[in-house]
Amino acid sequence: MTSAGGSGGTRTVMEKAFAQRRFPIRRATSGDIRQIAKLANMAGGDTLSVILQGIDPTVKAVRTYREMVAAPTGVYSYRNCLVAVSRGVIVGLANAFHARLIESETGTAMTHCLETGGKHIEPQHFRLMMACAEICRTAAHFMLLNTPHHKHVCGECAGICTECAKDCERIGGMDDCVKACKQCAGSCRAMAG
């Protein structure tokens, strides 16, 4: 890492970039798997290593992370990950599984509701689905920013997803949307602490 002088003392190029928030955010690709696994292992503080020691001491945590990230599906798949990049190096990541699931399911559900009509297009219900998709997207972005305020946003996200799941159950015929909303609500509650 290169150091750069400044009035507040010596700061690294990376610290300056963080301070100025110059990191483009993009979806992860298969070429990012090794970097994502390495960052996930660092972020986990060797928790997975400790767990694996009790199961099979020959298995390495980074390899396990790599296998989880390389999987084409699942919560930890690179396909469900957003990365922040600086000079070709991944410097941050956020698993966006539930936010993408909600966005996808809500889009599908909105199309279903528009085509079905009746109570499916009640303004209150439709607005709730749009709010659910938007708060999920916002929560994922707040986690990617690594701001302590993500806890507040995730708490609100859990509440809106729970409300959306209940409303979709009330209307009926929206089982996939209900399932996605419940999964997201559970994850967001955990993130909110």
The tally of domains found in the chain comes to 2
Query: Worst-scoring range by mean pLDDT, 18-27, 37-46, 118-127, 145-154?
Result: 18-27
Residues 102 and 188 in one domain: yes
Give the model confidence (pLDDT) of 163-190 as tens digits: 999 999 999 988 888 888 888 888 788 7
Give the domain range for residue 72: 3-95
User: For 60, what's the count of Cα atoms within 13 Å in the CB-facing half-sphere?
Assistant: 5
Residues 51 and 68 in one domain: yes
CATH number of domain containing 19: 3.40.630.30
Give the model confidence (pLDDT) of 70-112 as tens digits: 988 766 788 878 787 878 888 777 665 555 555 555 566 677 7
Q: Is residue 6 scored above 80 in pLDDT?
A: no
Residues 8 and 91 in one domain: yes
In angstroms, the CA 124 to CA 151 distance is 26
How far does Cα 24 stand from its chain's mean position?
A: 16
Which amino acid makes up residue 141?
A: H
CATH number of domain containing 178: 1.20.1270.360
Residues 77 and 108 in one domain: no
